[in-house]
Structures are given as structure tokens and as C-alpha cells.
Structure 1
């Protein structure tokens, strides 16, 4: 019996039957919904205020808005929202988890898909079929390993030295733009073409990590120098952007390392002897609980005590992000404040 007609492969095909389709913020106008939410209460009013603050950041010609991204919303259908924010000049820099950038965005740029789970399935059955699960979303593990090996190929073509994650991801975008992308218009490729730097402060905690480890092991075995990721350079480079930008705004989906990393640039600038303004505009969309002292590092008001975020224009939205991000993104797109913005193309700082 051939490999593609085995019961196991038939089950895998049935499990990976429905692809996740990414929402298009240009195809619908969320302004009437946001306008209605502004007159409501609870999370609806918080969402409307978050949308207003994001639009204020876009209208402020002196402000550089950053996208801070954690969690799995890219796999869940918001991938093109973030791509279009960069494409249309709503975002000047991205700080994200490695998984959001590599396992999700770069993965799809290679021509692979994320899939909807039809219903509850024993995770041991998924493992037997080489299917990885993110809540109700599936990834083909064999395709993800292809992503690992592609990272290895990119490593092997680069000079063996230290790279910031920003610099390595720029090389990934360059590789895609050279005709290697199976799916054009990924976040990585768009950011590369628009001069928008992407930082992953915990870059190896992703599919890229496996490719990097294999690269180093093979080089060590051959007695050759190898490439490495310089996390300190990440912090220095993003702080350089904060200093150059002056006024900044944060649009944060989730929290964790990307959130704290972006906020800490204010403190880092001060350590370097540069008086930097706190992030003037800040929105965080999260379901994290504050009672354990976490909330993906802190609430935005708490961050003010550290000198990171100004509390005049800040809003926490306690909601599952895939229900909120498409509304705020569409609202901003159709209000059009991005049309008058000058793209700073911060990647030029490192050319």
C-alpha cells in the first residue's frame, strides 16, 4: 500500500481539511461598530477607546507607532492585519515572539497553511499523525520541519558572525524577496520592503531555533565558525530607534517578553544618558489576569511607575485578541490617518 493511501495519511488529510483564512481589514468598514461601542460599556467601550488612542497615535505626525505581538493570533487569522498595518504605514517597528514571526508568518510564506480543528481530537492521535495543535488550530509538523531546514539554509549562506534578531529577520525578508516566497506579501517580506525592522528578543524560542542549533552543530563538527544571535544587540538597536523616534506609541497584542522589551527602551535610553520620553500612546489587548502580579508583565498604569508608559493615553482591553484586533485595524484603515504619515523606515539606521 502506498504511503499516501494508508489509514494514517487518510486521517491526517481529513484533520487538515479546513484552512484558516486571514481577515482582510480593507474589505469591511468597522467604523460604525467602533462608533457604537464608544456609547456602550465594559470591554466594548474599552475597545473603542483603544481604537481612538491608536488613531491619535497615527494622527500625531511626531509619533512612531510600534506593533508588539505575542500569542498565536497570526495563526488564528490575524496575520494579514499585521501585514497591512506595516504595508499602509500604521506601524514603524515590530517586536514579536519568534513563533509569531517564524512558525506562523515565515511558515506561510513558504507556502504552508494553518488549519481549523473540526472538533476535539485526542492529542496523542494528533502526535501519531505529526500534527501540532494551537488550541483549535493545527500545523503540519512535517511542514514545520521544512521551515526549520529553510532557516538552516539561510544560516549557511550568511557570514558566520553575530547577528541581532532584527538583522537575521531582515535576511529572511531578503531571501523571500529574491523569488523564494511561495506566498507573496508575508509580514516578513513586507517589512523588509517597507524598511520596517522586526525584533524577536527570544528568537531561538521558535522554529528558527532548531535551524540555528543544527547550523552550529554542523559547523562545530566541521571545525568552522558559526552564526549566532546577539540578544544584547536587539536591545541596543531598538533603543536606538526609540531615541531617534522621540514620541512613540505601542499597539500591543498579548504581552510577555515583547511587551516588556519594547517598554524597557525608555529606561535603557536613560541608562545611556539620553532623556527619552515615556511611550506616549499605549494599548494592550490581553486576557491575562492581574491578580497574580503578572498580566504579561504589568498593566499599563503599573508600567508608569517604572517610567515606561505615559498614562494619559493608555488603554487595557481584556478580550481575546482575534475578536478585537480586526475591528481596531479596520477602523484605523478606514479613518485614514495613516495616509498622511511619513514612513520613517527605521531599518535605515542599521544600513
Structure 2
């Protein structure tokens, strides 16, 4: 019995000048702790991409766009390394802000926040933003974008973000926008907490101050998202952080199981987060815990990498870019019909 625990020795990392990132992450599969988990994260994501007909969800939480992860997410969308995005409203708002040519700024966490308030400078740890520029973006959404939305139509967040991408396209926004990349690539974007963001309250102001009747139907979000997991051949999940996006994606497997009377749990699962499971929150709950709910398949390939996503995500994305310089996969194409009906067909693409 003792020998079964001692089969595979660790393999110390060697330093090779000019070594590729993907070769390094492969080498990290032979080390311990979160170094190995980072290597496993690349491996599991690569398995997702090699699956024959697989729909890959990405949940995006935390201030990833202000922290500089915007182009990484846009790259993953353009290469169709993900197929559906679920994001916080804040990340989408900050993406739109930069798509308009505005910036976030290198700052410091060692600063007098009272002085920042007096200068109308907002702080996200060590990143600064100009609140007066935020106000301009708020007005742009309220005055420029919202006239493109119809009164009394019950929008899902996916439909609003689609219209936002369409408007950014006509506006001539920069191509590295997450919202614009998703619009061009046919990637649905859900924002289940849209109202919990500047994007949401700017739409609200269009109703309050301009006599509009724009309606956000949150239950339509639940219906549309669960239909994806219901009709997809296979589904996989990737979580950057946790929060609402993680739970929103997890629950699609439960709802789809209720509806179809079949196991619709996710086959592959990856999370990069600093959240811990012992506090009982969904953000930190393990995939093993999720298996008890039927959210993650009992035989799923899964990995939890406990790391700062601003460190891990660029490494993982670069490693995948090297491994799949010519990516060929069956990409899901979403065809939305009346009454929230959905068909998915798979289209072979070179990406």
C-alpha cells in the first residue's frame, strides 16, 4: 500500500534562458503547491479546447479591467478560447470607459484618500481613475447609447450588452474592447448584476431624467443562460474570481437538469481566485462542494488555483496562445429565436 503513494517524484524547475511560457507551465506540473495548480490550470483549459463540441463559460469578477486585464479577456474572446462571458457590471463599465479612449492610471495604495476625494480621484487599491471622466462616460451611456434601446421591451442583460457592442462598433471604439470583441465574435455576454454598476445606474438615469421606459428583465437572464447549458453538447466553466458570475454559471447546470431530467453538470472546471472555502461563501467554495449540488460533473477534470488573477491569468493566456498557435475547434454559434428559444450549431473554425 505504501508504494502507491510514492510513485511520481517531483521534478525541480530548471532555468532555461529563452524558455517559452507554455514550456514553463508544463514544467510546473512537476512541482508543488500553487505552482503545480497553475500548470494544471493551463492543462485543464487546453483539454476544454480539445473537446469535440464544448461550450466554454467564463465568469469574470473583481476589478480586472482597471487592473489591466482587458486585452487578455478580449484576446480569449477573439480566439474563441471562451464562448460565453458572464461579468460584473463594473468590468463592463470600465471596459466601455476605456473603449471611449479614457484611461485608468498607475497609483499607489500608500496615499491620503481624503486628498484624493478632494481632487475627484477614485482609487482601486493602487489604480487611480478620474471621477470627472467617469461622469462623462455615465452621460455618454445615458444620452448617446440609451436612445438605441426601445421603451417597454423586456431586455435581458445579454441583449443590452449586444446592443452596446453594436453601438460601440458604429462609434468607432478601439478593437481591444471586451464588449466590442464579443459583439464581433458572436460571444454572448451576460451581466446578472447589471444594475449594481455605473452601467446600470446610467440606464436608470435615462428612465428617470429623460422619460424613457427601458426594462431589464432579470428572469429572462436566467432563462436564456440556462438554455445554453440545456442544449449544449458539453459545457465547461472557468472562473476568474467568484461572486455573482460564478453562481450564475453554476446554477445553469441545476436549472438545465431540472428542465431536461438529465445530468447537465459541467464537464471541466477551472477557478483562479484568492477566496477560501472555510467561510462558506460561494466565491471560495470548492468544485467538490459544487459536485454535491450537481453543478460540476462527478468525473470532471477540475482545478482550483489559489492565486492573484492579475498574476496567473496573463501567464495562462500566453501559455495557451503558444500551445494553440493554430487553434481549430468546433465553435458554438448561438441562434436566438422568439420567446427566448435557442439553437446551438457547431461551426469548425481556424482561430
Verify same fold: TM over 0.5.
Answer: yes
Aligned to 2:38: 47
Aligned to 1:149: 139
Moved over 4 A (4+): 347-351
Counterpart mapping for 1:1-351 below 5 A: 29-102=20-93, 104-118=94-108, 120-153=110-143, 154-160=145-151, 161-181=153-173, 183-219=174-210, 222=211, 226-294=213-281, 296=283, 298-311=285-298, 312-336=300-324, 339-346=327-334, 348=336
Q: Residue 337 of structure 1: CA displacement? A: 7.6
C-alpha distance after superposition, 1:145-178 (max 9, x if no partner): 1221122132233211221110000011000111
Q: Residue 203 of structure 1: CA displacement? A: 0.5
Q: Residue 207 of structure 1: CA displacement? A: 1.2
Higher RCO (CA 8 Å, separation ≥ 6 residues): 1
Unaligned runs of 5+ in 2: 1-18, 343-351
Provide the C-alpha distance between the structure 1 equivalents of 2:291 and 2:320, rounded to a whole number of angstroms.
26
C-alpha distance after superposition, 1:72-102 (max 9, x if no partner): 1222121111100010111110001011111
- What's the TM-score, normalizing by structure 1? 0.86
Q: Which has the higher strand share?
A: 2
Structure 1 vs Structure 2 CA RMSD? 1.9
| Native 8 Å contact 1:163 1:228 kept in 2 | yes
Provide the C-alpha distance between the structure 1 equivalents of 2:42 and 2:291, rounded to a whole number of angstroms.
21
The structure-2 alpha-carbon separation of the partners of 1:113 and 1:345, relative to structure 1 and needing over 3 Å to count, comes to farther
Unaligned runs of 5+ in 1: 1-27
Provide the C-alpha distance between the structure 1 equivalents of 2:197 and 2:240, rounded to a whole number of angstroms.
18
Q: Residue 237 of structure 1: CA displacement? A: 0.7
| Native 8 Å contact 1:151 1:208 kept in 2 | yes
| Native 8 Å contact 2:108 2:127 kept in 1 | no
How many residue pairs get matched? 318
